[in-house]
Structure 1
Amino acid sequence: MKIIIAAGTGFLGKNLEKYFTEKGSQVYILTRNPKRKNEIFWDAKTLDEWKNILENSDVLINLAGKSVDCRYTEKNKKEIYSSRIESTKVLQQAINECINKPKVWLNASSATIYIHSETHLNTEENGIIGDDFSMNICKSWEKEFFISKTENVRKVALRTSIVLGNNGGAFPKLKMITKFGLGGKQGRGNQNISWIHIDDFCRSVEHIINNENIVGEINITAPNPLPNEEFMRKLRKKMKVPFGLNAPVWQLEIASIFLKSETELLLKSRNVYPDKLMKSGLEFTYSKVDYAFKNLV
């Protein structure tokens, strides 16, 4: 296949590029800082020469968007919003000008679109979507993505949970704090963690590409979310770390200022189930967090 990954130089993009390249696909990356032959310059908001690479492609994957791992200042909030909306909008313009359009367009979204939920398991069908900064960002993002219907282009929004891998994302930081004895529960510890192993993330993307019946919003997460306290306990056990200091909310509030982050990233209960993936026959290699830790630690 010919696959285009917009903003593909981060953790998820690098792993997808490796995964599909090893399977014989041609992968091209749209990036602000092209350094290799398969990388093409784009600024994620202006229609330019890069649009030509979309011609005769099979798949477009858009991962563009400023990281939410920052303080929610007014400036950062505007950038988080605009980076998602503008990139989605300009890719739509580029596709509209294609003679031979991509067959499928996967656009990033987030499992954060669902409300803080400790008991209700959110599927695509019955998920409860709320109203705060993070959820409204996701809603606006998906609205922009689905607002234009493009003939013969199948659109899928990837509501991705926390992706566990050793070469980026949150997991290396979690391992580090656990190693230093700080791997106890965060806050009350009863907030659920929805997660997926990086290999299963890549396999999920491939499964969606190959399954023409999958359209619209889809939860990209392993089928077994678990409470933060249990998650951290299992990680300590796998890393053979005998204890982990708990971090009450007031400590996290102070730490988040120094780390230039937000406590929501740790304290929101994401209780999400991949109903569409399960019903369409995807078998997870790492369906339980124990299997994921065994592989990654």
Structure 2
Amino acid sequence: MTETSADRIVIAGASGFIGRYLADAFGDAGASVRVIGRDGADASWGDTAAIVDLIDGADLLINLAGKSVNCRYTAANRAEIVRSRVETTRELAEAIRECQNPPSLWINSSTATIYRHAEDRPMTESTGELGDGFSVDVARAWEQEFFDGELPGTRRVALRMAIVLGDGSALLPLIALARMGLGGPQLDGHWFASPARRAAGTFHENRGSAGRQKFSWIHLADVLGIIQFLREHPDIDGPVNLSSPHPSDNRTVMQIIRDVVGMPFGLPAARWMLEIGSAVIKTETELVLKSRWVLPERLTGAGYTFEYPELRPAVRAIVAARK
């Protein structure tokens, strides 16, 4: 990275593993890093005046705020998932409008889940089709709020992030399953849907993917690299897919994890097992059964070089770092 001590970077929602990694990396590079959040933050949500003071004159604003989607989609959790994304994004926009020297670049988190379940072809920024259901509705509302209204002095980029792999990511429970001999593919199948779940858009429809649902991913190091790349390319704005140029599928992912941890076999998990297990650990089967096939068309077209374009070296690096 090329930051200097003159750089002032503000990160909203820096308590997650992505935010902590970025804050540490920018700080190590000599930047002055400030955070917006809850306990111990430099400015708190709801105190718009303090947020204005923090971001006025900043070189970069990164917003990662939002309740984790790794939960059961109850009515209360759904409301908080939406609120924690839309309201924080709205407050940042209001604060930017009050700045004398607004940040030149505002990068807001989004999600590749905005695209439909895709097994037929990859989704790019130019040809991707948006999906339906609760998760897609959240992503649509999030981006709509982010791009709403005029911010003449601030370039806006929405990061449609695929599954981010790193220490603290969704990869860790898959590694744990593999080490216990349960690291086979996650298989779709028939399951019972209540009218309420269908109405809420939270029920995953069976596509019979047989473990071939696509797995789009990106290494944490490339999230940092892409943010720096976006700073250096002022011609890029709007939605940008953050995903490796080489997506995989569920069967291959689990095979690679088993190989890396040295487990010669892995029992598959049928849909009924996944539904029971997800209820026990309070998550949703959509997170492993939806086929996310995303390509980073804009980044590769602009010349970004991925540090981890292939999955096996990425998984090997993460497992080695944890040792």
Measured against aligned partners, the alpha-carbon deviations of 1:205-232 in whole angstroms (never above 9, x if no partner) come to 1111221011000001111111100111
Residue identity in the other structure for 2:251:
E
Query: Are positions 1:10 and 2:16 aligned together?
Result: yes
Structure 1 contact 28–40 (Cα < 8 Å) conserved = yes
**Partners in 2 of 1:51 and 1:246 — Cα distance?**
51
Q: TM-score, normalised by structure 2?
A: 0.88
Structure 1 contact 236–242 (Cα < 8 Å) conserved = yes
**Partners in 1 of 2:299 and 2:130 — Cα distance?**
20
Q: Please name the residue that 1:90 is paired with.
A: 91
Residue identity in the other structure for 1:42:
S
Query: Are positions 1:21 and 2:27 aligned together?
Result: yes
Q: Which runs of 4+ in 1 moved over 3 A?
A: none
Residue identity in the other structure for 2:43:
F
**Partners in 2 of 1:46 and 1:121 — Cα distance?**
42
Query: Are positions 1:261 and 2:262 aligned together?
Result: no
The count of corresponding residues between Structure 1 and Structure 2 is 291
**Partners in 1 of 2:264 and 2:166 — Cα distance?**
23
Measured against aligned partners, the alpha-carbon deviations of 1:81-128 in whole angstroms (never above 9, x if no partner) come to 111110000001100100000000001100000000012100000011
**Partners in 1 of 2:235 and 2:29 — Cα distance?**
23
Residue identity in the other structure for 2:289:
L
Measured against aligned partners, the alpha-carbon deviations of 1:265-297 in whole angstroms (never above 9, x if no partner) come to 010000000011101111011101012122122
Structure 2 residue runs without a partner (length 5+): 1-6, 188-209
Selected match of 2:304 from 282, 285, 290: 282
Deviation at residue 160 of structure 1 after TM alignment = 0.3
Give the CA RMSD over aligned residues: 1.0
Structure 1 contact 55–98 (Cα < 8 Å) conserved = yes
**Partners in 1 of 2:49 and 2:153 — Cα distance?**
23
Of 258-267 and 197-206, the range deviating more from structure 2: 197-206
Q: Please name the residue that 1:178 is paired with.
A: 178
**Partners in 2 of 1:83 and 1:18 — Cα distance?**
24
Structure 1 residue runs without a partner (length 5+): none
Deviation at residue 189 of structure 1 after TM alignment = 0.7
**Partners in 2 of 1:143 and 1:3 — Cα distance?**
24
Deviation at residue 46 of structure 1 after TM alignment = 4.8
**Partners in 2 of 1:153 and 1:133 — Cα distance?**
30
Selected match of 1:236 from 258, 263, 273: 258
**What percentage of aligned pairs have identical amino acids?**
41
Q: TM-score, normalised by structure 1?
A: 0.96
Q: Please name the residue that 1:49 is paired with.
A: 50
Structure 1 contact 9–29 (Cα < 8 Å) conserved = no
Deviation at residue 234 of structure 1 after TM alignment = 1.1
**Partners in 2 of 1:105 and 1:75 — Cα distance?**
29
Selected match of 1:218 from 221, 224, 240: 240
Deviation at residue 204 of structure 1 after TM alignment = 0.9
Deviation at residue 157 of structure 1 after TM alignment = 0.3
